[in-house]
């Protein structure tokens, strides 16, 4: 069974450009990132296939989980560990057919009802956010930390916090019960991605990963 816990690093087409993304992801994993998600809302599956294959291989070599954002066909085709979907993305049942043994994560924004329903329909984890003001999605729905606490009481699957998470406020999410913290800007904009990943990862060291 794959353990869904720790720093969840999400790539960004601007902050992790193609020419440096492999090195940046390697630094993140070396610093303790447990999960890497390839997120690109602009390119086609065909355009992303080569990069996705390389990232998948790198993650497997470094014992990290590799996820693809909203592209279950691509994820299945390259042997990714799973796919993450939002409310306007592929339906969870369709994703499950394409990835029968894969990890399916679902964005639940600020809705515990959606999370309960997604767990019932087979999601492997749910994500809530934005927990804090997000530079990546400034207009994102706000989700209180109390929602994470509520979810941990009602759900059996892992909970991920996302949105504006930094090493300074991530402890609030972890203390609220978040099994994972998903990070974009705060990680990739750091002077040292490896050291920044270590700062996040230390928050989970009290539990044996």
152 is catalytic: no
CA pair distance 94, 88, nearest whole angstrom: 13
User: Residue 45 is encoded by which pair of tokens?
Assistant: 């599956």
Instruction: Give catalytic status of residue 171 as yes or no.
Output: no
* 96 labelled catalytic: no
CA distance 141 to 189: 23
Using an 8 Å Cβ cutoff, are 67 and 81 in contact? yes
Instruction: State the CB neighbour count (10 A cutoff) for residue 155.
Output: 18
Cis ω on the peptide bond leading into residue 77 (within 30° of 0)? no
Single out the catalytic residue among 34, 107, 186, 199: 107
CA angle 19, 24, 25 (to 5 degrees): 110
Query: Whole-angstrom Cα distance, residue 188 to residue 9?
Result: 9
**Residue of 129, 194, 128, 202 lying closest to 171 (CA atoms):** 202
User: Among the options 43, 114, 137, 171, which is catalytic?
Assistant: 137
Positions marked catalytic: 39, 107, 137
């Amino acid at each position: 069974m794959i353990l869904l816990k720790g720093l969840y690093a999400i790539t960004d087409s601007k902050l992790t450009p193609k020419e440096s993304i492999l090195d940046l992801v390697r630094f993140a994993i070396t610093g303790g990132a447990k999960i890497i998600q390839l997120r690109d809302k602009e390119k086609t599956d065909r355009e992303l296939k080569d990069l996705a294959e390389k990232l998948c291989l790198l993650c497997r070599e470094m014992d990290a989980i590799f996820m693809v954002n909203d592209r279950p066909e691509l994820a299945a085709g390259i042997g990714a560990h799973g796919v993450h979907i939002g409310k306007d993305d592929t339906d969870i049942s369709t994703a499950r057919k394409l990835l029968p043994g894969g990890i399916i994560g679902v964005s639940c924004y600020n809705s515990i009802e959606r999370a309960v329903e997604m767990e019932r329909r087979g999601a492997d984890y749910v994500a809530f956010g934005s927990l804090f003001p997000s530079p990546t999605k400034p207009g994102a729905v706000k989700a209180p930390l109390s929602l994470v606490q509520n979810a941990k009481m009602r759900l059996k699957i892992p909970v991920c916090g996302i949105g504006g998470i930094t090493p300074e406020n991530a402890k609030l999410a972890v203390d609220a019960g978040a099994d994972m913290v998903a990070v974009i800007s705060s990680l990739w904009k750091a002077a040292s991605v490896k050291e920044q990943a270590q700062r996040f990862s230390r928050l989970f060291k009290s539990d044996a990963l």
